[in-house]
Structure 1
Amino acid sequence: MEVVKIMLQSFKLAIKSIIANKMRSFLTMLGLIIGVSAVVILVSVMMGYLNNMVKSFMDMGANTISVSLVNTPARQASIDQMYDFFNENRDIFSEMSPQVGVSGTIKVGTTKSTSTTVSGVSEYYSKMKNYKLEKGRNLSYADMISRQKVVVIGYYVALKLFGSPKEALGQIIKINGSAFTVVGVVERQDKKQLSARGSDDFAFMPYSTAGQLNGTSVPDTYTFATVDTKVSDKAVTLLKDFLKTIYTQKETYFVESMSQMLSEINVQMALMSTIIGAIAGISLLVAGVGVMNIMLVSVTERTREIGIRKALGARKGVIMQQFVIEALVTSTLGGSLGIILGCIASPTIGNIMGMSSPANFNAVLISFSVSVAIGLIFGYMPAMRAASLNPIDALRSE
Structure 2
Amino acid sequence: MNFGQSFKLAVKALRTSKMRAFLTMLGIIIGVGAVIVIISLGNGLQGMVDQQVESMGVNLIQSMVYGRGDGTTMNLDPQEMYDLVDAHPDVLTGVSPYVSAQTTVRHNDTLYERTRLYGVSEVMYKAETGATLDGETIAQGRFLQYIDVARSQNVCVIGAFLAQDAFNGDALGQSLTIGGVPYTVVGVLKQSGDTLTEGGRDDQVYLSYNNALKLMGTRNVNLYLFTSTNRDTAAAAKELIDAKLYDFFQDDDAYYTMTMAEQVTQINAMMGVAMLVLVAIAAISLLVGGIGIMNIMLVSVTERTREIGIRKSLGAKRRDIRSQFIIEAGTTSAIGGLLGILFGCLLATGIGTLFGGVLAAQMGGNVTFNATPTFEAVAVSFCVSVGIGILFGYLPANRAAKLNPIDALRYE
Match for residue 176 of structure 2? Answer: 173
Query: Relative to 1, partners in 2 of residues 1:120 and 1:277: Cα closer, same or farther, differing over 3 Å?
Result: same
Q: Distance in 2 between matches of 1:274 and 1:8?
A: 37
- What is the TM-score normalised by the length of structure 1? 0.88
Q: Distance in 1 between matches of 2:197 and 2:392?
A: 53
Is 1:16 matched with 2:12? yes
1-structure distance, mates of 2:273, 2:320: 44
Asked if 2 retains the 8 angstrom alpha-carbon contact of 1:346 and 1:357, the reply is no
Counting matched residue pairs gives 391
Instruction: Provide the rounded CA distance (Å) in 2 between the counterparts of 1:351 and 1:146.
Output: 48
Q: CA offset at residue 39 of structure 1? A: 1.6
Change (3 A) 1:185 1:397: same
Q: Corresponding residue for 1:303?
A: 305
1:61–1:130: 8 Å Cα contact kept in structure 2? Answer: no
Gap regions ≥5 residues in structure 2: 127-132, 360-368
Residue 29 of structure 2 is aligned to residue 27 of structure 1: no
Aligned partner of residue 147 in structure 1, secondary structure: coil
What is the deviation of 1:122?
Answer: 0.7
Q: Residues 277 and 198 (structure 1 numbering): CA distance in 2 closer, same or farther, change over 3 Å?
A: farther
Which residue of 15, 33, 39 maps to 2:35? 39
Aligned to 1:270: 272
- Cα RMSD (Å): 2.6
Moved more, 238-247 or 351-360: 351-360
Contact 1:77–1:218 (CA under 8 A) maintained in structure 2? yes
Contact 2:44 2:372 in 1 (8 A): no
Pairing 1:125-144 to 2, within 5 Å after superposition = 125-127=124-126, 128-144=133-149
SS of aligned partner of 1:68: strand
The one-character-per-residue Cα deviations of 1:128-147 (angstroms, maximum 9, x if unpaired) are 34543211111111111222
Q: Name the SS for the 1:94 alignment partner.
A: strand
- Partner SS, residue 389 of structure 1: coil
**Secondary structure, aligned partner of 1:179:** strand
Q: Is the 8 A contact 1:40 1:359 kept in 2?
A: no
Q: 1:121·1:206 contact (CA, 8 Å) conserved in 2? A: yes
Is the CA contact (8 Å cut-off) linking 2:59 and 2:229 kept in structure 1? yes
2:325–2:393 CA contact under 8 A, matched in 1: yes
Secondary structure in 2 matching 1:168 = coil
Question: TM-score scaled to structure 2, two decimals?
Answer: 0.85
**Which residue number in structure 2 is paired with residue 124 of structure 1?**
123
2 CA distance for matches of 1:44 and 1:209? 46
Percent sequence identity over aligned pairs = 41
Output the CA distance in 2 between the equivalents of 1:299 and 1:81: 81
Question: Residue 213 of structure 2 contacts residue 219 of structure 2 at CA under 8 Å; is this kept in 1?
Answer: yes
The residue type equivalent to 1:88 in the other structure is A
Deviation for aligned residue 1:62: 3.3
Which moves more between the two structures, 363-372 or 249-258? 249-258
Separation in structure 1 between the aligned mates of residue 39 and residue 270 of structure 2, nearest angstrom? 14
Secondary structure class of the residue paired with 1:200: coil
Task: List runs of 5+ in structure 1 lacking aligned partners.
Answer: none
How much has 1:195 moved relative to structure 2? 5.5
Q: Distance in 2 between matches of 1:239 and 1:108?
A: 40
CA distance in 2, matches of 1:245, 1:285: 58
Q: CA deviation at 1:298?
A: 0.3
* Displacement after TM superposition at 1:256 (Å): 2.6
* CA distance 1:10–1:195, change in 2 (3 Å): farther
Q: What is the alpha-carbon distance in structure 2 between the residues aligned to residue 194 and residue 151 of structure 1?
A: 19
Q: Distance in 2 between matches of 1:348 and 1:232?
A: 39
Of 361, 364, 371, 1:358 maps to 371
> Aligned partners of 2:159, 2:76: CA distance in 1, in Å?
31
Aligned counterpart, 2:321: 319
Q: Deviations over 1:105-150 (max 9, x none)?
A: 3333454443332111111101234543211111111111222211
Q: What displacement does 1:374 show?
A: 1.1
Contact 1:61/1:129, CA 8 A, preserved across alignment? no
Distance 1:198 1:368 in 2: 45
Task: Tell me the residue number matched to 1:83.
Answer: 82
Partner of 2:364: none
CA distance in 2, matches of 1:157, 1:229: 36
Q: Residues 57, 182 of structure 1: CA spacing in aligned structure 2 closer, same or farther, 3 A cutoff?
A: same
**Cα displacement string for residues 200-233 of structure 1 (whole angstroms, at most 9, x for unaligned residues):** 3322012222233333345343211112233222
Does 1:369 find its partner at 2:383? yes
CA change 1:110–1:62 in 2 (3 A) is farther
Structure 1, residues 279-328: CA drift from partner, whole Å, max 9, x if none? 22122122111101111110110111222233334444433332222212
